[in-house]
Structure 1
Amino acid sequence: MTTYLTVSALTKYIKYKFDKDPHLQSVLIKGELSNFKKHSSGHLYFAIKDENSLINAMMFKAQASKLDFVPKEGDQVLVEARVSVYERRGSYQIYVNQMQLDGIGYLYQKFEQLKTKLSKEGYFDESHKKTIPKYPSKIAILTAQTGAAIRDIQNTLTSRYPLAEQIKISTLVQGEAAKADIIEKLRYADTLNVDTIIIGRGGGSIEDLWNFNEEEVVKAIYQCETPVISAVGHETDTTLSDYVADVRAATPTQAAMIATPDKKELLQMIAQSRIFMTRFIKQYLKHARQYMTQYTSYYKLKQPTLLYEQHVQKRDELDRMLHEAMKQRLLFERQKLIMMQQRFHLKHFYQYIVTQQEKNSNLKKQLSKRMYAILKQKEQHLIQKVEILNNLSPTQTMLRGYSIVKRENEVITSRKQLSKGDDIEIMMKDGSIDAIIEKVRCQNDVKK
């Protein structure tokens, strides 16, 4: 008899084959995102396609939460995935473990992420920017040994400010070894005691300029003690080195212009300064001659003793006043000293002590009398209180012929507390009596 498989059985068998194939457990695929959807559960459902084919894919929430970008329709991506079969539809699909943007898109994303990170860490803050010296004596140029950038910088520096010494440091600006070389040359240039460092290169794609976006290069520029001008690429190109540098130049030529003054402007400024100084000196000499003429015609200069004779007389008067003031002060201090000696004479001091001792003795006597009177008053008051308390004492009452009746150590104050047959204790002034109640009656009862 022929055995037929169910659709489910065949699908399970095919899925088993897919899951057991080691070549399908981890495949690397590149393509374009299509039909992208994010489920409310957090799982991602999409397809990856190229010019000729399309394959369905999904990414679980746990893996999707680790993505460092937001996927969208049309993104070119690189994925690492596992190939399997979705039994319900009987179709094969991939389960994505990792996904990243492909090519330029990835670099732009990495650029923005690194820019945000470094900005938060304060590398781009204006407070860290250093001022470019206005009149540099030495300028270090870090760029490729050949190319338009070095020529533009050198020609501009020579034409604008030939007084500045140009220190050319050949630097790799592209390729795998460029990052390490840029960092090394920056640190070297920072030790040369130059006034300004210009670092740059010509234009290019984002891949060509990427070495100037590396985090290590950005930090190396930030750590430079020497002011740095960044001139990477053309005017539309922007790298992270531009953000961290003290000044960003749109082109290498502009960097040279920022680093130096223009000799034509300096010559013009010198000429104007010369004219100004000449006019100022002439005016100053003219006024000085006028003052000199006035001073030479001044009457006191013709008779020099007039300049100081008044001051000599004033000095003598002040000297006399000073001596008089010193004599008065000395006399006052002597009188003050005599008064103090009289006040503190030994005999007077002894009399003062005797007087104080007598006062002290009198005060002691008064205190003793006062204390005795108070104690006597308190004693009388205490005797009165004791007498009142004694009169109220039960013992005194019993001395007058009364007794105290107790039952079980409880004082009986009413007949209602007793019943026939109760054991009682009668306390008298000289002892106690045990008794038994035979009859209880009130005051109105007639004795039978």
Structure 2
Amino acid sequence: MAEPQYLSVTTLTKYIKYKFDQDPHLQSVLIKGELSNFKKHSSGHLYFNVKDKNSVISAMMFKGSAAKIDFDPKEGDEVLLEARVSVYERRGNYQIYVNKMHIDGVGNLYQKLEQLKKKLTKEGFFDQNHKKLIPKFPKKIAVLTAGTGAAIRDIHTTINSRYPLAEQIQINTLVQGTQAKQDIIEKIAQADTLGVDTIIIGRGGGSIEDLWNFNEEDVVKAIYHCNTPIISAVGHETDFTLSDFVADVRAATPTQAAMMATPDQYEIRQYIQQTKLSLTRFIKQHMQQQRKHLEHVASYYKFQTPTLLYDQQIQKRDDLEKQLNFSASMMIKNHQQQLTLLNNKFNLKAFRQDINRNQLMNQQKRDELTKVIHNFITNQKQNLTRKLENLNNLSPTNTMLRGYSIISKKDSVITSTKDLSENDNIVLTMKDGLVDAQVKKVRCNDDE
């Protein structure tokens, strides 16, 4: 028996590497994953792992390829890789050698979507208290979607089958592409001026890239500020856009949007029929009740003998007329008696005598008052004359007429020789003028 041939680890590893390198399917693979344990060596080479929810692959990227990356890779980035699968002999594990690396645009879009959703939620654009009610029986419905495709057919077909009374206004709108954002905003503003009851914005679903125009902030604000209620039917059941959150109602499909915007004519007919039956039954019951009431009233004895309704009223009227005549007579009689009493009280001759007597008394009082006033004035004149005589006797002027004069020094009247000194300048006030003088000598009575 031949001895078994044992391979060295290196030989086995080389063989496995040879198999990897010879497999054409492993020479260029496209991988999508998340960067993990990312490191940039001083040599410029990149070392990292690529992982998803269930697996991890070691990877490296040479300096020349790394220099061509159009973004700054970092831990956690979702990336798209073009790589070659091979075996690193030293450690004996397989890894990928990345030739090209791109940021995963879809992952970025989802991140951008979440950030914008949080921002608009915080600003209140998605609050329920801003939602408008969808009219139950619309007269006009504006449909904003592509002019061709399943979405417009589904909406038109559904509205025509459910509620053909509603007028449909088709507004062809770009729902994809670089120009779609502005076109959507303009078409919403246009529809808002047409006097429609409801606006449906729809398209047939799609990827996040296809639906991105309905995630634009300006489109969200255009829907928010629209005065007409809007139903959003942009995606399918699992495709949500920010337009769905801000719209007054979100429909999972265009068909469902048409159903939300219109009542079902068959349900309306059934309701009308039921209402008709209920109304007919109510009218019949009401008529039966009124007929019974009429029969009951018609059988009342007063209606059997109509004179009973007015005989007593005629008698009552006669009684009231009699009472009225009696009351009027009594009132006239009372007023006549009062007039007689007033005539008796009002004696014209006595009234004139009272006037003459009062006039005579007034004249006497006037004469007495005149006499009292005359005596008072005479007494006052006499008192005034006596006071004037006394005042005249005391007047300095009269004193000076008798030869006296007034001596003043520096505008002060001198009453004593003690107030004067030799050579003082004095003024003598006499009856007919002033005299300026100078004191030669002062002699007091005490000096004698």
TM-score of the two chains, using structure 1 as the length reference: 0.50
Equivalent residues of 1:153, 1:253 under 8 A apart:
yes
1:408 positional shift = 4.2
CA displacement 1:23-53 (0-9 Å, x = unmatched): xxxxxxxxxxxxxxxxxxxxxxxxxxx9679
For residue 198 of structure 1, what is the aligned residue in structure 2?
199
For residue 294 of structure 1, what is the aligned residue in structure 2?
296
Q: Structure 1 residues 52 and 417 mapped into 2: Cα distance closer, same or farther (>3 Å)?
A: farther
For residue 412 of structure 2, what is the aligned residue in structure 1?
410
Q: Structure 1 residues 135 and 275 mapped into 2: Cα distance closer, same or farther (>3 Å)?
A: same
1:318 positional shift = 3.9
Equivalent residues of 2:213, 2:219 under 8 A apart:
no
Q: Structure 1 residues 253 and 348 mapped into 2: Cα distance closer, same or farther (>3 Å)?
A: farther
For residue 140 of structure 1, what is the aligned residue in structure 2?
141
Equivalent residues of 2:215, 2:242 under 8 A apart:
no
Q: Which runs of structure 2 are paired with 1:385-404 in the superposition (5 Å)?
A: 386=388, 389-390=391-392, 393-398=395-400, 402-404=404-406
CA distance in 2, matches of 1:199, 1:360: 108
CA distance in 2, matches of 1:352, 1:163: 107
Q: Secondary structure at the match of 1:306?
A: helix
For residue 168 of structure 2, what is the aligned residue in structure 1?
167
RMSD: 5.7
Q: Secondary structure at the match of 2:212?
A: coil
1:405 positional shift = 0.8
Q: Structure 1 residues 311 and 446 mapped into 2: Cα distance closer, same or farther (>3 Å)?
A: same
1:250 positional shift = 1.7
Q: Structure 1 residues 312 and 386 mapped into 2: Cα distance closer, same or farther (>3 Å)?
A: same
Q: Secondary structure at the match of 2:447?
A: coil
1:167 positional shift = 1.8
Gaps of 5+ in 2: 1-67, 73-108, 206-210
CA displacement 1:216-236 (0-9 Å, x = unmatched): x876x44xxxx5335374685
Q: Structure 1 residues 152 and 330 mapped into 2: Cα distance closer, same or farther (>3 Å)?
A: farther
For residue 250 of structure 1, what is the aligned residue in structure 2?
250
Q: Which runs of structure 2 are paired with 1:142-291 in the superposition (5 Å)?
A: 142-144=143-145, 145-147=147-149, 149-151=151-153, 153-154=155-156, 156-158=158-160, 161-162=162-163, 164-174=165-175, 175=179, 176-187=182-193, 189-190=194-195, 196-202=197-203, 204-206=211-213, 209=216, 212-213=219-220, 221-222=226-227, 227-231=228-232, 233=234, 236-238=240-242, 248-251=248-251, 256=258, 259-262=261-264, 266=268, 269-270=271-272, 273=275, 276-277=278-279, 280-281=282-283, 283-291=285-293
Q: Structure 1 residues 125 and 430 mapped into 2: Cα distance closer, same or farther (>3 Å)?
A: farther
Equivalent residues of 1:135, 1:261 under 8 A apart:
yes
Matched pairs, number: 323
Q: Secondary structure at the match of 1:425?
A: strand
CA distance in 2, matches of 1:343, 1:146: 114
Equivalent residues of 1:403, 1:428 under 8 A apart:
yes
CA distance in 1, matches of 2:403, 2:202: 133
Equivalent residues of 1:172, 1:182 under 8 A apart:
no
Give me the identity figure in percent: 35
| Counterpart residue identity of residue 421, structure 2 | S
Q: Secondary structure at the match of 1:435?
A: strand
CA distance in 1, matches of 2:281, 2:393: 127
Equivalent residues of 2:163, 2:263 under 8 A apart:
no
TM-score of the two chains, using structure 2 as the length reference: 0.50
For residue 310 of structure 2, what is the aligned residue in structure 1?
308
Q: Secondary structure at the match of 2:250?
A: coil
CA distance in 2, matches of 1:423, 1:411: 13
Alignment of 1:426 onto 2:428: yes
1:143 positional shift = 0.8
CA distance in 2, matches of 1:339, 1:256: 99
Q: Structure 1 residues 323 and 398 mapped into 2: Cα distance closer, same or farther (>3 Å)?
A: same
Equivalent residues of 1:143, 1:149 under 8 A apart:
no
1:294 positional shift = 3.0
Q: Secondary structure at the match of 2:315?
A: helix
**In terms of Rg, which structure is larger?**
2
CA distance in 1, matches of 2:150, 2:360: 115
CA distance in 1, matches of 2:380, 2:256: 110
Equivalent residues of 1:398, 1:429 under 8 A apart:
yes
| Counterpart residue identity of residue 304, structure 2 | K
For residue 36 of structure 1, what is the aligned residue in structure 2?
none
Equivalent residues of 1:403, 1:429 under 8 A apart:
yes
Equivalent residues of 2:141, 2:199 under 8 A apart:
yes
1:130 positional shift = 7.8
Gaps of 5+ in 1: 1-49, 55-102
CA distance in 2, matches of 1:433, 1:388: 29
CA distance in 2, matches of 1:386, 1:318: 94
In terms of mean alpha carbon deviation, does 374-383 or 163-172 score higher? 374-383
Equivalent residues of 1:229, 1:255 under 8 A apart:
no
1:186 positional shift = 3.5
For residue 447 of structure 2, what is the aligned residue in structure 1?
446
In terms of mean alpha carbon deviation, does 169-178 or 327-336 score higher? 327-336
1:133 positional shift = 4.4
Equivalent residues of 1:149, 1:200 under 8 A apart:
no
| Counterpart residue identity of residue 310, structure 1 | Q
1:421 positional shift = 0.3
Q: Structure 1 residues 332 and 158 mapped into 2: Cα distance closer, same or farther (>3 Å)?
A: farther
